[in-house]
A and B are shown apart, each in its own frame.
Chain A
Amino acid sequence: MSGGINLGIKEKTAEHLARLALFCFLAFLPMIWQSQYALGLLTLMAVYGILLIGLDATVGYLGQVNLAQAALFGLGAYGTALAIQSGLPFSLALLAGVMAALLPGAALALPSLRLDGPQFALSTLSFASLAVIVLNESESITNGALGISVPRPLFFSMELDARRFYWFCLIVLSAVWWASGLLFKSRIGLAIEALRDSPTATDALGIGSLKHKAVAFAWGSSLAGFAGGLHVMNFGYLQPSAFGYDLMVILLLGVVFGGRRNQWGAFTGAAAVTMLPNLLSNRMMFSVFVTLGCLVAFTAPLKALLARRRPAFSESAPAAGMALCFALALFVPNLELWRKGIFALFLFSAVVGLPEGITGALVSEIRNLLRFSPEPLPAATGGISEPAPSDTAPLRTRNISKSFGGVIAVRDISIATEQGEILGLIGPNGSGKTTLINLVTGLYAPDEGSVEISGRRIRQGSLMAASAAGASRTFQNLQPFSSLTALESITVCQRKIDKPAAMALLQIVGLESKARLRCSELSFGDLRFLEIGRALATQPSLLLLDEPAAGMAKPDIARLIELISSIRDYGITILIIEHHQDVITEVCNRVAVMNGGRLIALGTPEEIRRDPLVVEAYLGGEETVPSSGDNHAILSC
């Protein structure tokens, strides 16, 4: 770690102070810089700030390309304009704007939330185009292409002049900023981020997905509506064509340029979107700006060349983009004509070269320069909670089968566990072990048969139902919540946030010293332990471990064995898939062996080791039996 200057304050405090300073500066700016134009720009920037904070909810936190925000902004503006026309007061008119965006947004959300990636982008793009058509065609309501002019209503019998209106927008922006920060640091916000990183894990851990997607989308849509209301009050005139694809692209790129998952980023994006057209009308300013951009963009590839290394694409492409911009600045007589092209070049360079946006790059720069006092961690209390004792088997499958196409992965398996036992599940690769766990946890629906967890029958193929019944799992291929810290990964899985208990769980899995690290910074082995901690945080009665020791170093395996035994001591039933012989022999009460999708043996580890069928499955009929002393014997072929 580089040294840096120690400020002696917490990062959070520093951020609060910086934000306070920013808003004071913005509030006083119209006093120093007395110009109607400046006021117009600043007001637009504040409105766009609100809009982009909303857009960041879906594009940043949810990680989906949302192309409907401009249309929702327009719907909000029309909602407010029509409300003003029908004589509603200031606050109700704004509320009407929010509703006008929120309700159609909800209608869009219901089908779209199941979608990901390009499908989500397309669905929102269609919605946006439809919304503009409807606004343009409903002449009797919206006056169509002619547009509506509305006066700015009185604010509780006070007339807001341009400057007061700007201050009002600033206050709204700061409130929205604060609320958004709060929302995305709450459990819901953490769940939204977890959802982006691994939807499978959030489902399997019972964190839920649709609900949180809906919250993010609704929050984003409401802000779009709110911003739309302020927009119409600012300009006093509306036309449907203003809310088309052009605006959408600019907004989207604003968020990406500024930096995602960060209100500072949304604000920076808003400032950039507002200022960019003015940049082009001043040639000297533009040249200075482009030259600086070139210097920044060329450092990375030059460094690479000095180190005698071919620059990576992400290093050379921004340089190429900025060089092209530089050429335009030199040779094009009228830059205004190239507005879109220059905008595109800037964005291309930013998206490729600064994936975290301007603020993302800046924040890591600041973290290098300055040192902050760490957030205090809560003291650990509590820990693993014991499930209520019960007579029913924690897990019972009845004749379940599953096939993919022509391949029968699991056939006719019936097993039952007793409370507080560790049942090992072994078998060669491709014998159907993971498929069985996927069936038990509801990731797949069985073709035949049924699954009961603690006596509750699991609905066909529902991860959430299995989780609600008390099953919790880890994954063979890790499913970390990369953007959350270790502590947050635990708290997001708790039914109710309980930081001391989460700290205790981290202690149990041996990660208390890494509580503040992001999952993306943790080692592979740490992530395996964290997954167990995460699963325990849901207070399961049945824990399913899918190859927890895979890829682990020897000392870690010893720790793992200890951990698994201690979890069992709390009365939690464990089903474990494992290839490491010593893990199986040391912790399992019983072992089930699968081969070719069938259960071929079930018994104590000792019995299993002598079972001729098992020996044949593993060794193809050889007479020697793997000895328990061979620590590294990996049974699979």
Chain B
Amino acid sequence: MNPELLAYAQMAVSGGLMGMAYALVAYGFQLTFAAGKAVNFGQGELVMLGAFIGLTLTGTGLPYWASISGAVAAGAALGWFVEKSAVRLALKQHNEGWILLTIILGLFAVSAAENIWGREDLPYPAPWDDGSIDIFGISVTWPELAVAGGALGVMLLVEIAKRYTMTGIAVQAVSADPDAAELCGIRSDAATSLSWAVSGAAAAFAGTIIAPVTTVGPTMAAALTLKAFSVAVVAGLDSAIGLVLTGIFLGSAENLAGFMLGSGWRETPGLVLLMLALALRPQGIFGKTIIRKV
């Protein structure tokens, strides 16, 4: 293949693989938005905490899989805590306080991480080889493949649980109509908490799989929240497949924009896409067309 074309292909592929991480974080937004019409503006900080906790557990000599499970459990607890402490009350009062409170909790998380783990970016050891494999002249590293595989796996797992377990169906019922679900004997508060816990777990897992690629640091996920928002908004908050496709598209678009326009413009596709989506289809973004009731 001609080297120029190959370069573009290389950029698109690496970007697309990392785009899966955006999709996974965006999936966390999808879960909590369905449950309570709120999202965590500090989701990126949960990703960061997940990575740090995973790193610490690996440092104690636990095997890789055990440390990841520990990080995921901690992520679930943190997600649950965010809902309890920042979101529940504000949503009951029908105000936008939750946006501020989730931002504030994120700020605290960064500060705590800085003091517990230090301000430096640390490498994250992974059991797989950090070398690369060559596919038609495009080099792909094992950690990158792990990001894509892990993201897909987790989303698949949660989707299956949502469809085929009683708990999953109950959560879906609550997102469709909390009052009606209560009348059927489902505790909607518990279902909402569960959604936040799963969302937190997904974020923490995302942290442990992207950290081998990006390193771990208190600010590692600062940009991630906004990118995940772009993916979530463009894809809409109904379909997991939409998220994956948009994530791949956005990751590639970012890389190509950086490649063609200069790396300073790397972040722009996500931002422009987000603004366009909001401007052109505001009604279709967070859910389906909303009917105003009076």
Q: Touch between A and B in complex, CB under 8 Å?
A: yes
A348→B105 contact, CB < 8 A: yes
B108→A344 contact, CB < 8 A: yes
Indicate whether A65 sits within 8 Å of B107 (C-beta atoms), given known contacts A137-B262, A137-B264. no
Query: Which of B64-72, B131-139, B172-180, B273-281 is the interface stretch?
Result: B273-281
B111 partner residues in chain A, CB cutoff 8 A: 338-342, 344
* Interface status of A628 (Cβ within 8 A of chain B): no
* Interface status of A393 (Cβ within 8 A of chain B): no
A137 partner residues in chain B, CB cutoff 8 A: 262, 264-265
* Interface status of A63 (Cβ within 8 A of chain B): yes
| CB closest chain-A residue, reference B272 | A130
B233 partner residues in chain A, CB cutoff 8 A: 119, 122
B100→A475 contact, CB < 8 A: no
Indicate whether A347 sits within 8 Å of B275 (C-beta atoms), given known contacts A133-B265, A136-B264. no
Query: Which of B51-59, B158-166, B246-254, B284-292 is the interface stretch?
Result: B284-292
A404, B233: Cα distance in complex, Å: 25
* Interface status of B85 (Cβ within 8 A of chain A): yes
B267 partner residues in chain A, CB cutoff 8 A: 129, 133
* Interface status of A256 (Cβ within 8 A of chain B): yes
A308, B234: Cα distance in complex, Å: 50
- Measured between C-beta atoms, what is the minimum distance from B178 to chain A in Å? 18
* Interface status of B2 (Cβ within 8 A of chain A): no
A475→B226 contact, CB < 8 A: no
Tell me the residues in window 311-349 of chain A with beta carbons closer than 8 Å to chain B beta carbons: 313-314, 317, 332, 337-345, 347-348
B226 partner residues in chain A, CB cutoff 8 A: 125-126, 129
| CB closest chain-B residue, reference A144 | B264
| CB closest chain-A residue, reference B222 | A245
* Interface status of B245 (Cβ within 8 A of chain A): no
Tell me the residues in window 340-361 of chain A with beta carbons closer than 8 Å to chain B beta carbons: 340-345, 347-348, 351-352, 355
A245, A344, A355, A546: residue with the most chain B Cβ atoms closer than 10 Å? A344
A130→B294 contact, CB < 8 A: no
A434→B294 contact, CB < 8 A: yes
A114, B95: Cα distance in complex, Å: 18
Tell me the residues in window 91-128 of chain B with beta carbons closer than 8 Å to chain A beta carbons: 95-97, 99-101, 103-105, 107-108, 110-112, 114-115
* Interface status of B229 (Cβ within 8 A of chain A): yes
* Interface status of A96 (Cβ within 8 A of chain B): no
Indicate whether A253 sits within 8 Å of B104 (C-beta atoms), given known contacts A115-B282, A122-B229, A337-B114. yes
* Interface status of B268 (Cβ within 8 A of chain A): yes
B96→A117 contact, CB < 8 A: yes
A114→B103 contact, CB < 8 A: no
B96→A340 contact, CB < 8 A: no
Indicate whether A477 sits within 8 Å of B294 (C-beta atoms), given known contacts A338-B115, A344-B105. yes
Tell me the residues in window 574-591 of chain A with beta carbons closer than 8 Å to chain B beta carbons: none
A123→B275 contact, CB < 8 A: yes
Tell me the residues in window 226-263 of chain B with beta carbons closer than 8 Å to chain A beta carbons: 226, 229-230, 233, 262
- Measured between C-beta atoms, what is the minimum distance from B208 to chain A in Å? 24
A375, B292: Cα distance in complex, Å: 38
B285 partner residues in chain A, CB cutoff 8 A: 119
Indicate whether A345 sits within 8 Å of B97 (C-beta atoms), given known contacts A133-B264, A200-B294, A475-B294. no
Question: 0/1 per residue, B15-46, Cβ < 8 Å to A?
Answer: 00000000000000000000000110100000
B110 partner residues in chain A, CB cutoff 8 A: 340
* Interface status of B88 (Cβ within 8 A of chain A): yes
Indicate whether A348 sits within 8 Å of B89 (C-beta atoms), given known contacts A130-B268, A338-B115. no
* Interface status of B271 (Cβ within 8 A of chain A): yes
- Measured between C-beta atoms, what is the minimum distance from A498 to chain B in Å? 28
B271 partner residues in chain A, CB cutoff 8 A: 126-127, 129-130, 133
A133 partner residues in chain B, CB cutoff 8 A: 264-265, 267-268, 271
| CB closest chain-A residue, reference B114 | A337
CB contact between A351 and one of B39, B104, B108 (< 8 Å): that residue? B104
CB contact between A65 and one of B96, B112, B265 (< 8 Å): that residue? B96
B107→A351 contact, CB < 8 A: no
| CB closest chain-A residue, reference B283 | A114
B282 partner residues in chain A, CB cutoff 8 A: 114-115, 119
- Measured between C-beta atoms, what is the minimum distance from B204 to chain A in Å? 20
* Interface status of A392 (Cβ within 8 A of chain B): no
A121 partner residues in chain B, CB cutoff 8 A: 41, 96, 99
| CB closest chain-A residue, reference B92 | A313
* Interface status of A460 (Cβ within 8 A of chain B): no
Question: 0/1 per residue, B194-238, Cβ < 8 Å to A?
Answer: 000000000000000000000000000010001001100100000
Tell me the residues in window 41-93 of chain A with beta carbons closer than 8 Å to chain B beta carbons: 63-65
B88 partner residues in chain A, CB cutoff 8 A: 313
A136 partner residues in chain B, CB cutoff 8 A: 264
B274 partner residues in chain A, CB cutoff 8 A: 122-123, 126
A112, B277: Cα distance in complex, Å: 11
* Interface status of A438 (Cβ within 8 A of chain B): yes
B100→A256 contact, CB < 8 A: yes
A340→B108 contact, CB < 8 A: yes
A355, B262: Cα distance in complex, Å: 45
A85, B154: Cα distance in complex, Å: 55
* Interface status of A479 (Cβ within 8 A of chain B): yes
A332 partner residues in chain B, CB cutoff 8 A: 115
* Interface status of A469 (Cβ within 8 A of chain B): no
A347, B282: Cα distance in complex, Å: 31
A344→B107 contact, CB < 8 A: yes
B264→A64 contact, CB < 8 A: no
B107 partner residues in chain A, CB cutoff 8 A: 249, 340-341, 343-344, 347
A351→B100 contact, CB < 8 A: yes
A314→B89 contact, CB < 8 A: yes
A126, B232: Cα distance in complex, Å: 14
Return 18 A-B CB contacts under 8 Å, by A number: A63-B96, A110-B279, A111-B280, A112-B279, A118-B38, A122-B229, A125-B229, A126-B272, A126-B278, A129-B226, A133-B271, A200-B292, A252-B103, A340-B107, A340-B110, A341-B115, A355-B97, A443-B294
Top 8 nearest A-B pairs (CB, nearest first) are: A111-B279, A341-B111, A344-B108, A340-B111, A344-B107, A137-B264, A126-B271, A126-B274
For the A-B complex with A127-B275, A344-B111 known, give 12 more contacts whose Cβ atoms are closer than 8 Å.
A110-B279, A111-B279, A117-B99, A118-B39, A122-B229, A123-B279, A129-B267, A249-B107, A253-B104, A313-B89, A340-B110, A341-B108
Interface residues of B (CB under 8 A from A): 38-39, 41, 85, 88-89, 95-97, 99-101, 103-105, 107-108, 110-112, 114-115, 222, 226, 229-230, 233, 262, 264-265, 267-268, 271-272, 274-275, 278-280, 282, 285-286, 291-294
